[in-house]
Amino acid sequence: MTDPEPPSARTRIRRMPANAHYDRATVHAIVDEAYVCQVAFADEEGGVHCIPTACWRDGEDLVIHGSNGSRLLKRLADGAPACVTITHVDGLVLARSAFNHSMNYRSVVAYGSFERVADADKPALLDRFMDHIVPGRRHEARPGDANELAATTLLRMSLREAAAKIRTGGVNDDEADLARPVWAGVVPIHRVFGEPEPDAGVTCDVPAGVCALKGS
């Protein structure tokens, strides 16, 4: 069931509103499956940019990080309004007519402003990032030292003003096209992890978290 109340006027989905989901669990699940989000913002001169960057979720917040010198991080840290998007494409929907082709997908659009993460909170949030990449990784890799932490900016943005849009199912062809001798159907798309490739000099076994990725 979808929540009929969007969190704001700009998150209200008007095109195909039946595909809208406003509940936090759905939004969080789509964010949690993402390694990368796209962050759109305007610079000081009014130029518009959309930058892909690694992301992860901490409670109700989306978190990103980067070098202190990053234009993206510096602009967002000043409170510039941002729009963040995440999309997972789950299938190609091939119809009998060109204009009825579609895709099955899960997407999130979030609006808000980022705020800087306090230095004291950086280590714990970066541990969450490590475990987002590979479960248990924070116990295996060396944590950031004082210099690395000082050179890194972490920003968080609330996901309260966010909406999900999901398309599932098969082909929606016009009745007049159903007799056309054209193959129609859905081609599913799945994310598959390949065989781990060890770096030169590695002698230890592949960790359980990496093996679990390949099995997912």
For 21-55, how does the pLDDT look when each residue is reduced to its tens digit (9 = 90+)? 999 999 999 999 999 999 999 988 889 999 999 99
For residues 110 and 189, give the distance between their C-alpha atoms in angstroms, rounded to a whole number.
Answer: 25
- The CA dihedral of 207, 63, 40, 25, to the nearest 10 degrees, is 90
Mean pLDDT score across all residues of the chain: 94
pLDDT at 3 over 70: no
Question: Hey, where are the domains in the chain?
Answer: 9-171+185-190
User: What is the average pLDDT across 166-175?
Assistant: 96
Contact between 40 and 50 under an 8 Å Cβ cutoff? The reply is yes
pLDDT at 5 over 80: no
Q: Tokens in use for 150?
A: 């000082």
pLDDT at 20 over 80: yes
Q: What percent of the chain has pLDDT over 90?
A: 91
Contact between 159 and 61 under an 8 Å Cβ cutoff? The reply is yes
For residues 66 and 154, give the distance between their C-alpha atoms in angstroms, rounded to a whole number.
Answer: 7
Higher local confidence (pLDDT), 6 or 132: 132
For residues 141 and 144, give the distance between their C-alpha atoms in angstroms, rounded to a whole number.
Answer: 9
Q: What percent of the chain has pLDDT over 70?
A: 97
Higher local confidence (pLDDT), 79 or 2: 79
Sheet holding 115-116, edge to edge: 56-58, 61-67, 152-158, 115-116
pLDDT at 1 over 90: no
User: What is the average pLDDT across 98-126?
Assistant: 97
Domain with residues 9-171+185-190, CATH architecture:
Roll (2.30)
The model scores a pTM over 0.85: yes
